[in-house]
Amino acid sequence: MSKFDDFARLHVPGEPVVLFNAWDAGSAAAVAKSGAKAIATGSASVSMANGYGDAEEVPLDFALANAERIVKAVELPVTIDFEGGYASGGEQLTANGKRLAETGAIGCNFEDQVVGTDGLYEVGEQAARIAALRAGVGKQFFINLRTDLFLKAPSDRHDASLAEQAIERGKAYADAGANGFFIPGLGDLSLVERITNAVSLPVNAMHLPGGPSRAQWAGAGIARVSHGPFPFMDMQKWLTQQAAAALA
């Protein structure tokens, strides 16, 4: 059984795999010791840990070298937050995907936002981007397609209409060859369940401090729960507290 297969099998609606996101080889090794079944990075964590802003400000060469170090540090399947793929589409996106696959990663997150703007790619354009990325990463690679609909809209606009837009995108992305569908920012379980019932892909939620529990996500049909930037942010708070205590 390959790591590609092992990772895909972890995505069970109602029994979500938990990804406690890492940012470098050291943090990945620490998470692996916890009994984790896979390692995932978060782009915000990688950028903050290395003095960059998010939204592809981390240089591509650095991001890929970091991914390769993580893969070498653990025995587990590794999925990388690849943001928008560092290209709008076409041959450059395919080339970047090939370089990502060569790090040994078995999957990635891939966004439908136009990086650095408040806009999203049109559904058809994003479907073409999925095809371009797939051409680079190969057939087995797990592309977790992230829609930024719920991150771009304030929570008071998370309603049935926005959920239907997400469903339209999820179905189109499934047809285009995505392996998973990520809906970060949405915490309304009734809308989450509406999406998981309508989209054929395993659906990924993001853990939110004070938000739904793993059991509640499971009850809504979620197959994967990511912790995003919160592990890094909590680590930074702990480090500041420890330093302050030592210096007091």
Q: What is the pLDDT of residues 177-201, one digit of tens each?
A: 999 999 999 999 999 999 999 999 9
**Tens place of pLDDT for every residue, the chain, 248 residues?**
799 999 999 999 999 999 999 999 999 999 999 999 999 999 999 999 999 999 999 999 999 999 999 999 999 999 999 999 999 999 999 999 999 999 999 999 999 999 989 999 999 999 999 999 999 999 999 999 999 999 999 999 999 999 999 999 999 999 999 999 999 999 999 999 999 999 999 999 999 999 999 999 999 999 999 999 999 999 999 999 999 999 99
Q: Sign of dihedral through CA atoms 131, 136, 139, 142?
A: negative
Which residue ranges form the domains of the chain, and what is each CATH number?
Answer: 3-247 (3.20.20.60)
| Dihedrals phi, psi of 45, to nearest 5 degrees | -65, -45
The pLDDT assigned to 125 comes to: 98
Instruction: Kindly report the number of other CB atoms within 10 A of residue 212's CB atom.
Output: 20
**137 neighbors 173 (Cβ within 8 angstroms):** no
HEC string of the chain? CCHHHHHHHCCCCCCCEEECCECCHHHHHHHHCCCCCCEEECHHHHHHHCCCCCCCCCCHHHHHHHHHHHHHHCCCCEEEECCCCCCCCHHHHHHHHHHHHCCCCCEEEEECECCCCCCECCHHHHHHHHHHHHHHHCCCCEEEEECCHHHHCCHHHCCHHHHHHHHHHHHHHHHHCCCEEECCCCCCHHHHHHHHHHCCCCEEEECCCCCCCHHHHHHCCCCEEECCCHHHHHHHHHHHHHHHHHHC
List the one residue out of 29, 60, 59, 55 whose CA is nearest residue 42: 55
* pTM recorded for the entire structure: 0.96
The pLDDT assigned to 92 comes to: 98
**176 neighbors 147 (Cβ within 8 angstroms):** no
The pLDDT assigned to 104 comes to: 98
**149 neighbors 172 (Cβ within 8 angstroms):** no
| Dihedrals phi, psi of 175, to nearest 5 degrees | -65, -30
**196 neighbors 225 (Cβ within 8 angstroms):** no
The pLDDT assigned to 117 comes to: 93
| Dihedrals phi, psi of 124, to nearest 5 degrees | -65, -40
